[in-house]
Amino acid sequence: MPDSRHASLCRRSLLLALLSTTLAACAQTEAAVSPFSEPTRADASALGKEPTLLVVTTRKPTGSGQPFFGPERGTLTFAEAQLSPPGRGIAGRVSSVVNGDWAVLGLDRRTSTGAARSFAEAVNGRDVLLYVHGYNETFESAARSAAQLSHALEFQGRTALFSWPSGGALLDYGYDRESALWSRDGFVQALRALVNNPTVGRIHIVAHSMGTFLTLEALRELRTETDVSSRIGAVIFASPDIDIDAFEQTVSKLGPLAQRMTLIIDPGDRALAVSARIAGGVARAGAAERARLEALGVRVADTSGRGWSMLRHDLFLSDNEVTLVVRRAMERVGA
The pLDDT score that the predictor gives to residue 119 is 96
Mean pLDDT of the chain: 84
The pLDDT score that the predictor gives to residue 334 is 65
Residues whose CB falls within 8 Å of the CB of residue 89, separated by 6 or more in sequence, listed in order: none
Rounded CA separation 320/149 (Å): 10
- The more confident residue out of 91 and 299 is 299
Looking at mean pLDDT, say which of 90-99, 172-181, 265-274 comes out highest.
172-181
Q: What is the mean pLDDT of residues 234-258?
A: 95
Q: Going from the N-terminus, what domains does the chain have, and what CATH number goes with each?
A: 2-334 (3.40.50.1820)
Q: What number of other Cβ atoms are within 10 A of residue 35's Cβ?
A: 12
pLDDT tens per residue, range 194-223? 999 999 999 999 999 999 999 999 999 998
The pLDDT score that the predictor gives to residue 42 is 64
Q: What is the mean pLDDT of residues 62-79?
A: 90
Q: What is the mean pLDDT of residues 245-262?
A: 94
Angle of the 2-31 helix axis to the 89-99 helix axis, nearest 10: 180
The pLDDT score that the predictor gives to residue 40 is 46
Contact 96, 88 (CB under 8 A): no
pLDDT at position 293 over 70 = yes
The pLDDT score that the predictor gives to residue 304 is 87
The pLDDT score that the predictor gives to residue 335 is 57
The pLDDT score that the predictor gives to residue 29 is 33
The pLDDT score that the predictor gives to residue 3 is 52
- The more confident residue out of 30 and 8 is 8
Q: What is the mean pLDDT of residues 176-186?
A: 97
Rounded CA separation 306/312 (Å): 8
Q: What is the mean pLDDT of residues 174-198?
A: 96
The pLDDT score that the predictor gives to residue 87 is 66
Our measurement of the distance from residue 142's CA atom to the centroid of its chain's CA atoms, rounded to an integer in Å, reads 8
The pLDDT score that the predictor gives to residue 124 is 87
Rounded CA separation 12/171 (Å): 10
Q: What is the mean pLDDT of residues 50-76?
A: 92
What are the E-state strand segments in 225-297? 232-238, 261-265
Please, which pLDDT band fits residue 91 given cuts at 50, 70 and 90?
Answer: very low
Q: What percent of the chain has pLDDT over 90?
A: 64
The pLDDT score that the predictor gives to residue 136 is 93
Q: What is the mean pLDDT of residues 232-239?
A: 96
**What's the start-to-end Cα distance of the chain, in Å?**
63
State the Cα torsion 144-201-49-215 to the nearest 10°.
0
